[in-house]
Amino acid sequence: MSQFVKLTFLIHTFGIMGCVLGEIKPLQTLRWGADVESGVPNVFYDPQQPSKITGFEYEIAKALATTLHAQLEFHANDWEMLVPGLQRHEYDVLLNGIERNTWQRFTDKAGIRLSIPYYVTHLQLVVASSSPLKYFSECEDKTIGILKQSWHAEKALKRFHHTQIVIYDDEVKAFADLTNKRLDGVLLDHPESFYYAAIDKNVRLLDDPISRLEYVVIVRAEDADLLEEINKALNTLIHNGQLRSILERWNLWNAATATYFQATSVANSPAIAFDQYVATVQSNQKQWGHFYLQCLPMLWKAAWTTLKLSLVAMFFAMIAGFGLAVARIYAIGPIRLLATVYVECVRGIPLLIQLLLIFYGLPTLSKYLPTPISHWVCFSPFLAGVIALAINYSAYECEIYRAGLLSVPRGQMEAARALGMSHIQALWYVVFPQAIRMVIPPVTNNFIMLLQDSSLVSMITIVELTRAYQYLAATNFNYFGTGLLVAGVYLAIGFPFVCLARRCENRCNLKKYTYK
């Protein structure tokens, strides 16, 4: 009887444990996308540790993930590619200073849904300290800078008939033009303007708020359950005061947000994160050498990505280009025609267009394809970059090899055939070796160009050297020194291949191409 009681007890115990464990949801991953370039104070690389990201929206994303019992996974993308990246499932949520005012009218067309607001702010006009402007209404006949896809700012300026609008990729360039007196003002969201004015005393903010902006989270239209969870999590963060605490740390707590949160407008805690950021940037501006040393780990990682991408793409470009060149010269008519059409089409379309078509365009066709094939057209960022670069440069490689093959005198082929060689043997042992000697310099030049064009893959979420440069320079407002450092890294990557090409030229006895 006692054994039966023990067995019954164990069954009940394990049954209760099973119910409890069944109610515990497995740890999820909150995949979050944002643009880090010029992201101060939203999302940016920490000036103290350039390999790590920080910002008030980064802290909000972490708080959201914690509330949802999920791990946060960050994915960087260019601003105008954030929504396309969301649609191709690169990430699941967008939290990056996205204005409800702007995106509410695009929800159905873009296939997205918006959360409740987590921050309320306004547009802010920044002018030079010596500017006579006092109110936004005085912008008539002025030149004002705004950010790309800043529709709300552009709409605010449309009221002026003779105001010139200049669009920038990031606010750092806009503020540089303001300082150099190429602009009369810069119209941005208040957080960006406020932080830049705290660093540069040559500019000031107009005490004239423009429009009301509400920051929201974006998810795909089909992710209704995720949107509901995010809205609940945001309400939790608002009611428990955690969201307010984050905003106060970054000195972004304001009356409009306080009214929306139904809280007092007076900050309860000091702006620790804001003070630390300002102090770090000002220190870095005085001690650039220390900052450059901190940048090296991130630049090394980005340089390895650039080199790996370039080498793999060039390898396939050379193979495809050589095959195309042989086809254009020695194949039958229809194959020659196809090879010619391929080369002319690829050379006639910009590399960036090819890259975006492969990465963002092809996945949109997946719904029309059978299930096994539909997965093949949705490439990873690295693979899409390799394919685009290889396709583009195969056309140029083809023309280089074709020129090399045609430079071999026709008599060489005739002499080889007279000695009893077959056509293929004559090509392999006589024509190809002589052509290879002639194409080494242009092929080397082509690789250096591909190395530089690899910077375009930053448009598809890959952080390579150029993108790393933009991140670091925009975070610390230093384009010149950081640019020289990155330029040196590019030279260090390309120079060994130049030396290798010269060595190959010497081995091939091309004395006239040898540099002494």
Q: Which residue has the higher pLDDT, 215 or 22?
A: 215
pLDDT digits (tens, 9 = 90+) for 153-179: 888 898 898 999 999 888 888 988 998
CATH class of this structure's domain 29-119+216-286:
alpha beta
pLDDT greater than 80 at residue 93:
yes
Calculate the CA dihedral of residues 343, 346, 350, 355 and round it to 10 degrees.
Answer: -140
What's the confidence (pLDDT) of residue 296?
83
Lowest mean pLDDT among 204-218, 223-237, 324-338, 470-484: 470-484
- Smallest CA-to-CA distance from 309 within 495, 491, 463, 454 is with 454
pLDDT digits (tens, 9 = 90+) for 208-229: 889 899 999 999 999 999 999 9
What's the confidence (pLDDT) of residue 249?
96
DSSP-derived letter for residue 80 is G
Q: Is residue 54 within 8 Å of residue 23, measured between CB atoms? A: no
Lowest mean pLDDT among 3-17, 82-96, 187-201, 255-269: 3-17
Q: Where are the domains of the chain?
A: 29-119+216-286, 120-213, 289-513
Q: How far apart are CA 317 and CA 431, in angstroms?
A: 21
What's the confidence (pLDDT) of residue 371?
65
Q: SS3 of 75, please?
A: strand
Structure-block tokens of residue 32: 């979050």
pLDDT greater than 80 at residue 24:
no
Query: Look-up: residue for tokens 């995010």?
Result: 230
Q: SS3 of 263, please?
A: coil
Q: Which residue has the higher pLDDT, 252 or 407?
A: 252
Residue 291's pLDDT band, with cuts at 50, 70 and 90, is: confident
- Smallest CA-to-CA distance from 486 within 503, 502, 464, 504 is with 464
Lowest mean pLDDT among 263-267, 415-419, 505-509: 505-509
Structure-block tokens of residue 274: 């804001």
Most confident of 77-81, 210-214, 419-423, 431-435: 210-214
pLDDT greater than 60 at residue 22:
no
What's the confidence (pLDDT) of residue 377?
75
Q: Which residue has the higher pLDDT, 11 or 312?
A: 312
What is the average pLDDT across 445-459?
88
Q: SS3 of 462, please?
A: coil
Per the prediction, the chain carries an average pLDDT of 85
CATH of 120-213, one of 3.40.640.10, 2.30.110.10, 3.40.190.10, 3.40.50.360: 3.40.190.10
| Rg of the Cα atoms in the chain | 29
- Tell me whether domains 29-119+216-286 and 289-513 share a fold: no
Whole-prediction pTM value? Answer: 0.77
CATH class of this structure's domain 289-513:
mainly alpha
Q: Which residue has the higher pLDDT, 474 or 405?
A: 405
Lowest mean pLDDT among 39-53, 176-190, 287-301, 432-446: 287-301
pLDDT greater than 60 at residue 19:
no
Q: Say if strands 28-34 and 143-147 run parallel, antiparallel, or are unpaired.
A: unpaired
Q: SS3 of 97, please?
A: strand
Q: Is residue 99 within 8 Å of residue 115, measured between CB atoms? A: no
Instruction: Centre a 10 Å sphere on the Cβ of residue 97 and count the other Cβ atoms it contains.
Output: 24
What is the average pLDDT across 352-356?
92
Residue 515's pLDDT band, with cuts at 50, 70 and 90, is: very low
Q: Which residue has the higher pLDDT, 370 or 218?
A: 218
